[in-house]
Structure 1
Amino acid sequence: MHARIFTDSVSFMDISMFRVEGMQVTITPGWKYKPCDVAVMYGLANPPRRSQQGRLRNAIYREHNGPIVVIESSLIGRSFNQRLPGWLAALRRRPLRPRQVHPYYRVAVGGALGDDADFCAENSPPDRWERAKAEFGIRLKPYRAEGDYILLVGQVPKDASLRGIDMVRWLHETAAAIRKISDRSILIRLHPSTRWRDQEAIVHACSTVPRVAISRGRRPFADEVANAWVCVTLSSGAAIDALIAGVPPICLSPASLAYRLCSNSLDDIEHPKKPEREQFMRDLCHSQWTPREMSDGTAWRHIFPAVEREMARTGGDSGEHGAGRSRVIWAVQADHQGYHRPETVLSPSEKQRWARSLALWTVAARILPGKRKRYLHRRATALFMLGRYGEAELVFSGVRSRNPDFPGGHEGAARSAEKLGHWGIAAEAWAAASRLAPGRKALAGHAAALLKLGRLAEAEAVFGLLCERFPAEIAGYRGLERIASERGDWPLALQMQDVIWKTLSDPDAMRRKVLLLVRLQRIAEAKEIVKELEAGSSPLAYLLASMPLLEATHDWATMSQLLGTNEALLLGNWQLLHSYLGVLGRLGRADEALDVLDRSRAGKEAARKKLRINCLIQAHRYFEAGECLRQIWEHGSIDEFSPELLSPMVSAAWEAGGPDLANVVLDRVDAEAPHTVAGELLRLSAIFQRTRLRSLNCLASSSESAFDQGPHIEQLVRDHLAHSPGSMGAESRRDAVRDICGIFVRLRSGHADFFPDPSFVLNEALEVATCIAEAFDELKPLSLIRLGDGEGCMLPYRPELEVFRETDREATQQTWWGGAAQVDDALEWQLKEAIRSADVVGLPDLDRTSRGILSNSLEALGDGGRNARGLLASIDFAAGNTSKQAVLTSCHIHQSLSFWGIWDVLLPRLGAVSLITCHAKLGGVLAQRHGITIETVHLVPPEHKYAAGFASIAGDAHYPHAFTRLRDRLSGQLRGRVFLISAGMLGKIYCMWIRQAGGIAIDIGSAADFWCGHDTRSVVDIVTYRSPAGVAEQVRDLASEHSRFARLLPLDTSAKLLLGNPA
């Protein structure tokens, strides 16, 4: 049997995730119907629609002979967020359609309306209706005994549910018919998406009917139905809302889902039916499903009886298999390839079971005091399984205090405390449990909690006891290895890794040993270990040990080949899977990475979700990534949130449901983030996201308050650190972030032009862009450079960190040039001079710096520690070496200008630019996208780390050969010429040379990669490069009315505005 999912039947969601079980499934894009046994589509047939999408839907209905599974918008739980019309809407003479938020979608066979859909929902149980009431705060109000008017509800003209009825004519004729029957006043509510010309036609047509008022749908429906006597509809879903509000509907078309329940004649207008609603609501809730339920097969399994009925009725002749096809045999594939049941996430049925257990044991503990200990313990266990860790900890603590000799109470309290990051309580509870029952689990838990608290000597003793009593248990040896690493006792750490490998044959021990040797710059020893393992009997150990060595040398091609030829091991090991997907992303093969992830079962579900979202964003499949993020904020635990995902999550929420939904996500972070390092990072990230939302909200309302500075972010961060309890063991990292906040406060007081947060504050991004425009207008030399962690590794370190400087430099140069060149004193001096002479300097902003330092100790050996030290060095040097006249901004200014859509305004204004880049196609991309002229392109070799993913550039190394050649080419007269530069650390020096020659140099960094289709940065950075829909137009409109920022517009326009003549 063959099912096709016609993905282009809808443009605003990806229905390829709809899971069909027991059949071959083909994802079918395009605008033509193709034969199959079962067709899955979004929407309804509508002959008046002549768009490609409309023709596709019509073709499926017309040509398919067999079951059609239809997905449509929901009726219960939907919401409409109004948007203010802008200049584009005015030109189209059509109001902006409200932004609809649909947590659920109808799924049926044959259609989606009352007379054509089979929802398999008759006489449904109450569970989903009770869930919907709780989720959306729904209460069935008693039927009204009075009302001020008759509410007549319009629909979008030419909508599929009208089936050819002229809405203008229908509203007029229905209003006239009501007037003959009733003297009550009539309020006609137009659909908010009705075209303005149709609105005017309706107003004109109905003006002949006495006592008729018209609402254009700008007020919430709930306000207008609240005082209605009756609600008259054709086939609108407003009938459902009216039933909930206690207003009887009259449904005049069988297409209405409430047609069989309610009055169907205007003759009933004074005495409408007031039907029993409870069962109808239950049935309706079993007709709509969340995207998660559609993707995990729940919706398919529910409607499958309707699929079978339709196949029996049609004979199943789709034109693909013929009429003689046997009846479909359906079997649930519990282990369907590509679907992995999470270890820690409960299914709906499991949640229901634990909820029932919770209710049972709560009652039992009250009425059977003789067995109170057992029942309280079971109640606490149910709370824990439902993710209510705070309540579970309290109940377990009560069990402990009343029953100190009961190990289960101590263990439960310890596990709950671990979930909450209460490591002191966890350590004490595990200690009590291990005294009563000194087993493997209790000893390991006690030692791990002590390690979290930094009590290394005590943890070492308990881990040693664990090794002694349970010599085959790896946790004891791993714990001793970790303690050696925490102390910087590298010989002992390497010795413990050998013990684990030789005693327990743990292949990951060799990966950790090679990784540590690489970080210690003992590359030769690492290579020798890998060579020995290659000849050994454990292919998994060889592969795991090879990864850190190949990553250190950025040998992505060898890494890809090695892992790709060992797929069986790859698919079963999380470390290998994670490494391989990272390599595929760097090589521009993100779609292939998603396929590999779907075929693997390795890893915890939360980590798999994060990795999947990364791959989707790298593949530019932003809608699917947004759906994954929505599932996390709607259905996931706070453990599934992460600082890396919060920015794309808030952006997705803002695009899906506006500021209200975005704030719901951030409110959850504030309320639920644990007092751990991850929780601390989440709460700090929420500060930055709320600041961005303020600018977005003001922009959407066309308010000039979008240009207001508001509270400075460094002060907000300082206040947060002063009043939040913080995470255990991270106080020194918090002190480092406080120190940077102090530096930013001093810089703000000493620099008139200090704009450190342009990614979050629109005003700051516009200020920097205006500086560029002014330099261009006045033919004034300008150098805009950005300093990140890499540049910081070439600058002086603080004395206490100087010990790391040499190894950090070597690792950074390996990243840039593959170790083929070294920064000498002359090059370091030129970098410092480039910073001192720059007109605009981008510093590491507080968002990136706080994430880097709180995530990694400044004394850590790995990449995270090196990045944190580099960021700090960049801030320190720039703070003491930039001119007071220099503009200070963020090193992410290139991303900021992209997020706010300012590049779309600024680049066309510049007219002609020259390029220094490793991307040969960048000039064509910019010329096509912005209509600018490309004067000269200077190609340089790419950064070694990313070279395998870019088109190779023949020739000598970037430094010193290409660097020296460019010195000669950039020494001429460049007055007024604009250069966009994407050339790493050396690009900062190129900016200085161009400025000295009279030119304008803009360091665009990884923006060039993104414009050319390469995602070389993190998910946070990639999302920042994407401007939300409509933002560029809103920024352009708002800037045109601002005395300073109008300079960003094309020269002829801005000149008129500045002269006070916008005509």
Structure 2
Amino acid sequence: MNRNQNTVDTSGLDNIFNISPKNLQSQISAVEKLIALGHFQEAEHLCDQLIARLPNNPAGFVNLALIALKQQNSEIALERCEQFLRRFPNNQPLLNYKIESLTSLERFNEAEELCQDICKLFPIKPIGFIGLARISIKKQDFKLTLERCEQFIACFPNELSLLHLKSAALINLERFEEAEQACRLLTERFPDSPFGYAGLTKIALLNQDFKLTLERCEQFMPCFPDELSFLHLKSVALINLERLEEAEQICRLIIKNFPDKPLGYAGLTKIASLNQDFILTLERCEQYMPNFPDELSFLHLKSEVLINLERLEEAEQLCRFLIKRFPDRPFGYAGLTKIALKMQDFKLTFERCEQWASIFSFHPSFLQLKAEALIGLSFFKEAERISIGLVDNYPKKPVGHLLLARISFQQGDFQKSVERCYKLLESFPNDIHVSQLLANTLIALFRFEEAKHIFQQIIRIRPDKPNGYFGIARVAAAQSQHEETLKHCDYIIELFPTKIEALSLKGNTLLALSRLEEAKILFEKMVYDFPHLVNGYVGLHQLYRKIEKHHSALDAILTAYQINPINITVINQYVTLLELMGKTEVAYALLERHVNKLKHDACLVPLVNLYSKYGETSKILVLLENNNRFFSENVDLQIKVGLALRNKGNIIAAFTLFQNYLDNNNISLAALKIKFRVYEQLCLLQSIIENQGLFRHHFLSFISLPKPYLFKNPLYNEIVERIKTGNFTKCENFLDQDLDENPSNMIALFTRKIVEFTKELNDISAVFSESYLDIGESPVSALKVSEILISRIKNKTPTSMIRLGDGEGNYLTYPPQYEHWQNNDIEDIQRVWWGDVKIEHEDDKPIKALFAESVLNADILGIPDLVRRVRDIASFDNLANHRHNRGIEAIFHHLSVNKGLFATKQKTILTSCHSHTDLEFWDLYRYILTNVSKVTAITCHPDFARVLHDRFGITTVKTILIPSEHRHSHNFNIHEENNCHYPDYFERIINELTVEKGDVFLVAAGFLGKIYCNEIKNKGGISIDIGSTADIWMGYSTRMEHEYLHPIL
């Protein structure tokens, strides 16, 4: 194999007829050289001269047909062949070019008939047999190609084309050992032909051995410097080795040497895609496609980039065109499946995989997509089976192993996911996707330093990619290291200015730091630079929500929705804002359209949540009938169905639903987040079933049913009993021992936090007059609180009953580790309560003092309970990151540091911060207000007096009207929307408040209501902080827990 090809000097070739007018062979040779060099116009000019001089010689006609084929103009080639064959009916080259033209045009039946005729006409010539083999390989029927080649090679053992086609069929059938033998046979018999060497190189490429591919290219290219296949294979190897700058050089060389071939242009487009520069990818597709309108690679790359840009309608149109144009290729079908996955429509993804995987059984992407759909549907066992199959069938590819690690991650078995990732990295040490999953899992395990180390390794492997740098920024963000996060984001943006995720993270971090003007400038720039993406608009929406400018927030999220109307994050935020603005019917219509017309299953969850919140029980059950499979696959939806069944009176059905879930569902972190709510509902239903006749009115006969806060796991039965008896030391020792053996046991970590909270609650309760009364859990405790209030009303004992939630906690003394957050947290909660009112930190000292006095002076004090704490622990990966948690911890810190003051009073009763809704749940307001004929209500509802009369028979009601909480100002009391509760109303109410001894006040006034309650008590009255219960009585649902308060029986 030693063939040196020198550059051909073309000077004088077009004057060949003047030099040797009688030398036919030199004239034909000149034409062939011009064609080989791609000088088609000059070649065609010589052919015309040749035909004019020798009209009865086929050479000029044959080369004209060849020129059209070389220019990929199959229609003209076919026309010329048919025209010239009438003059030279049995000319073999013309017949061969006609076969090629028909095959290229995919007119396979005509091509096959022509080949069969040629085989009969020339049975000892290979032309027809080669044509049949080429037709079958063009149709991607590789088995038939192999059968034909083996049959025909028996007759033509030395025919290069048949040996080449056989090797190509074996390669496509992934029978690589046989293919390698066939290619080596080609190199032995035809050492001057590139086919055998190109085949060996392609085998290395398909075996994912990109280094060997590159070595073979560099070994064989000097012998075939003008051979396109080696340049192409080298560019593909460099792309897969992610040596993209070198790959780009090769692609540009291909374009220079073969400007009429699509491979170089396709390579440049692929490189842009791998660089995640989707805009450049799209530009290159649209630039090159007009020159190669039937080139599959551009259509495929364009569909992929449209999916990545979430321009899914355009992507779907293009995929359907791909299917129509190339019905035997998998790319259009795979694209439609990826679109369904991108929409999080896992059911449709699964159905499309099922439909098309059997047709393209050789194509692993359908198996991968099917596994991802099953993961999305929580069918983990089936997903694992498919993933193991991918590992077995494609051992040199990481995809199956990576899916197995993802399955463990989704199941909440983070430790197993970590183990799988580390094992996978032994085989694929430079696969950054594996490293990313590993690092993300380590973040979920709070192993931040280890995660940071993995991201640093990614940077070392791929310093030209943003993945590692962005991961380190995420590690900082997960630890609430906001200044550090900003530094990392700025560095990423400097290196990768189009990294939209880094821009979004920076904007969100600025929001967390309340650097609102900087955040606004950034989000507006994102909108300007990336108008086709939703990120900038979503950021502006979050900014305007934070500062309570709901109409501006609506404009921003509506634009995002118009850009991408199937992005579930955008839909959820749009719906939340519509609901917040009182446009609940619009929110219903939006979600119902997505579920019923667009079959967007991902919208079922938010729609059910909305129905549940507003008590639309019947609608939930209708959705269940129409989407039963999806409901059965989503545990959170099952909880909603259970609540719906309960609220319709189907108690046994609801109980069975919850019990079946607990019996059948293995414990995992993913299940942990909702498992507590399942137990909570199950115990309530048990209470209802056992006390059916007594449930609503005969409270004295109730027995307190302690909830099993932990799980049906024999290992933790002892813990449950110890928590009940207050034996916290043994609980802690038991859990610490468990954690020593398995530090990543998420159940034990979760339980440890619950034990710590319960211990803290008990320690604080010890200095108060009563043990903590959990009136949500125990109807007996609820009745006790009610009777205390009734006694005080009868005796006209001045009383203040208030509740402290996370917002109130933001105004109390923060623990030292959170002190630097307090000013930002107060600004945030002020915006929620009062809108744009800006109170300087020095100016709010008086109100802080009044509030602290109200807490100290309360007779019944509601504080966060175990139910709330368990939900927080289950919902948030890092509690320190959330203002809500910091507020709750401040409540306990404040009570703890002031235990001495509370101990001197010896009269405050502790209960739940949800006592207002717990009393409503047990229907005890009717009991408390039975003998009350006159009340004063501080509320934002003008029609509240009528409701109190209709509900409780109270005849005399004085209403002190205030603006609503700012975030709900669009829902009701709209005429007060532009007025601020603080300071205007607050100072007037405090100054004008008149109270006679024993007067009963129902106060629904938020944070300031706690101060009103204390002022009422100081003036001799009895104040009950009913909070959002007033909204329930008026028919509004303004809190998550309200979904539990619709009539049970």
TM-score over 0.5 for the pair:
yes
Q: Distance in 2 between matches of 1:427 and 1:343?
A: 28
Which residue does the alignment assign to 1:345?
347
How far did residue 988 of structure 1 move? 0.9
- Does the C-alpha gap of structure 1 residues 523 and 632 become closer, same or farther in structure 2, counting only changes over 3 Å? same
Q: Distance in 1 between matches of 2:549 and 2:747?
A: 35
Q: Distance in 1 between matches of 2:757 and 2:789?
A: 28
How far did residue 655 of structure 1 move? 4.0
Q: Distance in 2 between matches of 1:346 and 1:572?
A: 14
Query: Paired residues, what number?
Result: 671
Counterpart among 439, 453, 459 of residue 451 in structure 2? 459
Which residue does the alignment assign to 1:220?
none
**Contact 2:765/2:910 (CA < 8 Å) preserved in 1?**
no
Q: Is residue 832 of structure 2 the alignment partner of residue 837 of structure 1?
A: no
Q: Deviations over 1:814-872 (max 9, x none)?
A: 32223433563332222222222222111111111221244336663444544554554
Which residue does the alignment assign to 1:986?
1008
Letter in 1 for 2:803: R
**Contact 1:759/1:893 (CA < 8 Å) preserved in 2?**
yes
How far did residue 730 of structure 1 move? 8.4
Q: Is residue 925 of structure 2 the alignment partner of residue 903 of structure 1?
A: yes
How far did residue 584 of structure 1 move? 0.6
Q: Is residue 838 of structure 2 the alignment partner of residue 820 of structure 1?
A: yes
Of residues 984-993 and 924-933 in structure 1, the stretch that sits farther from structure 2 once superposed is: 924-933
Q: Is residue 577 of structure 2 the alignment partner of residue 559 of structure 1?
A: no
1:638-1037 equivalent positions in 2, closer than 5 A? 640-642=634-636, 648-655=640-647, 658-671=650-663, 676-702=668-694, 707-711=702-706, 716=720, 719=723, 734-746=751-763, 753-754=770-771, 756-818=773-835, 819-821=837-839, 824-856=844-876, 860-870=880-890, 872-873=892-893, 876=896, 882=902, 883-907=905-929, 909-950=931-972, 951-953=974-976, 957-970=980-993, 972-1018=994-1040, 1021-1029=1041-1049
Letter in 2 for 1:778: N
Q: Secondary structure at the match of 1:913?
A: strand
How far did residue 517 of structure 1 move? 0.5
Q: Deviations over 1:579-607 (max 9, x none)?
A: 22111111111120122234459999775
Letter in 1 for 2:413: H
**Contact 1:784/1:1003 (CA < 8 Å) preserved in 2?**
yes
Q: Distance in 1 between matches of 2:665 and 2:469?
A: 32
How far did residue 880 of structure 1 move? 6.3
How far did residue 1003 of structure 1 move? 0.5
Q: Is residue 413 of structure 2 the alignment partner of residue 422 of structure 1?
A: yes
- Does the C-alpha gap of structure 1 residues 591 and 403 become closer, same or farther in structure 2, counting only changes over 3 Å? closer
Q: Deviations over 1:343-372 (max 9, x none)?
A: 333799789999x99xxx9xxxxxxxxxxx
Q: Secondary structure at the match of 1:1005?
A: coil
Letter in 1 for 2:579: G
- Does the C-alpha gap of structure 1 residues 578 and 667 become closer, same or farther in structure 2, counting only changes over 3 Å? same
**Contact 2:939/2:961 (CA < 8 Å) preserved in 1?**
yes
Q: Distance in 1 between matches of 2:530 and 2:382?
A: 50
**Contact 2:773/2:910 (CA < 8 Å) preserved in 1?**
yes
- Does the C-alpha gap of structure 1 residues 710 and 534 become closer, same or farther in structure 2, counting only changes over 3 Å? closer
Q: Secondary structure at the match of 1:1028?
A: coil
How far did residue 987 of structure 1 move? 0.7
Q: Deviations over 1:668-719 (max 9, x none)?
A: 4534556554433323333433432343223314387862123377884975
Q: Distance in 2 between matches of 1:813 and 1:521?
A: 13
Q: Is residue 505 of structure 2 the alignment partner of residue 505 of structure 1?
A: no
Q: Distance in 2 between matches of 1:932 and 1:347?
A: 58
**Contact 2:594/2:600 (CA < 8 Å) preserved in 1?**
no
List runs of 5+ in structure 1 lacking aligned partners.
1-333, 362-375, 1030-1063
How far did residue 414 of structure 1 move? 2.0
**Contact 1:466/1:476 (CA < 8 Å) preserved in 2?**
yes
Q: Distance in 1 between matches of 2:518 and 2:722?
A: 45
Q: Is residue 598 of structure 2 the alignment partner of residue 611 of structure 1?
A: no
Q: Secondary structure at the match of 2:1001?
A: strand
Of residues 395-404 and 697-706 in structure 1, the stretch that sits farther from structure 2 once superposed is: 395-404
Q: Secondary structure at the match of 2:777?
A: coil
Q: Distance in 2 between matches of 1:665 and 1:547?
A: 39
Counterpart among 434, 438, 453 of residue 446 in structure 1? 438
- Does the C-alpha gap of structure 1 residues 966 and 926 become closer, same or farther in structure 2, counting only changes over 3 Å? same
Q: Distance in 1 between matches of 2:624 and 2:780?
A: 29
**Contact 1:839/1:887 (CA < 8 Å) preserved in 2?**
yes
**Contact 1:844/1:874 (CA < 8 Å) preserved in 2?**
no
**Contact 2:493/2:502 (CA < 8 Å) preserved in 1?**
yes
Letter in 2 for 1:708: I
List runs of 5+ in structure 2 lacking aligned partners.
1-335, 362-366, 710-718, 725-730
TM-score scaled by structure 1? 0.56
Q: Is residue 424 of structure 2 the alignment partner of residue 433 of structure 1?
A: yes
Counterpart among 498, 516, 520 of residue 527 in structure 1? 520
Q: Distance in 2 between matches of 1:516 and 1:761?
A: 42
**Contact 2:753/2:873 (CA < 8 Å) preserved in 1?**
yes
Q: Distance in 1 between matches of 2:886 and 2:690?
A: 39
Q: Deviations over 1:187-206 (max 9, x none)?
A: xxxxxxxxxxxxxxxxxxxx
**Contact 1:694/1:706 (CA < 8 Å) preserved in 2?**
no
Q: Secondary structure at the match of 1:700?
A: coil
Letter in 2 for 1:1015: S
Q: Distance in 1 between matches of 2:344 and 2:643?
A: 26
Letter in 2 for 1:698: E
Letter in 2 for 1:759: G
How far did residue 393 of structure 1 move? 5.8
How far did residue 935 of structure 1 move? 2.9
Of residues 1008-1017 and 703-712 in structure 1, the stretch that sits farther from structure 2 once superposed is: 703-712
- Does the C-alpha gap of structure 1 residues 739 and 469 become closer, same or farther in structure 2, counting only changes over 3 Å? closer
- Does the C-alpha gap of structure 1 residues 857 and 799 become closer, same or farther in structure 2, counting only changes over 3 Å? farther
Q: Secondary structure at the match of 1:992?
A: helix
Q: Distance in 2 between matches of 1:930 and 1:416?
A: 54
The structure that is strand-richer by fraction is 1
**Contact 1:791/1:874 (CA < 8 Å) preserved in 2?**
no
The structure that is helix-richer by fraction is 2
- Does the C-alpha gap of structure 1 residues 733 and 551 become closer, same or farther in structure 2, counting only changes over 3 Å? farther
**Contact 1:718/1:741 (CA < 8 Å) preserved in 2?**
no
- Does the C-alpha gap of structure 1 residues 634 and 663 become closer, same or farther in structure 2, counting only changes over 3 Å? farther
**Contact 1:684/1:717 (CA < 8 Å) preserved in 2?**
no
Q: Distance in 1 between matches of 2:790 and 2:1008?
A: 25
Q: Secondary structure at the match of 2:565?
A: helix
Which residue does the alignment assign to 2:588?
594
Q: Secondary structure at the match of 1:518?
A: helix
Please, what is the CA RMSD of the aligned residues? 4.6
Q: Secondary structure at the match of 2:970?
A: helix
- Does the C-alpha gap of structure 1 residues 388 and 956 become closer, same or farther in structure 2, counting only changes over 3 Å? closer
Which residue does the alignment assign to 2:302?
none
Q: Distance in 2 between matches of 1:604 and 1:728?
A: 39
Q: Distance in 1 between matches of 2:645 and 2:781?
A: 24
Q: Deviations over 1:214-255 (max 9, x none)?
A: xxxxxxxxxxxxxxxxxxxxxxxxxxxxxxxxxxxxxxxxxx
1:267-286 equivalent positions in 2, closer than 5 A? none
Letter in 2 for 1:420: Q
Q: Deviations over 1:999-1019 (max 9, x none)?
A: 22111111122333332212x
Q: Deviations over 1:413-433 (max 9, x none)?
A: 323322322222222222333
Larger Rg: 2
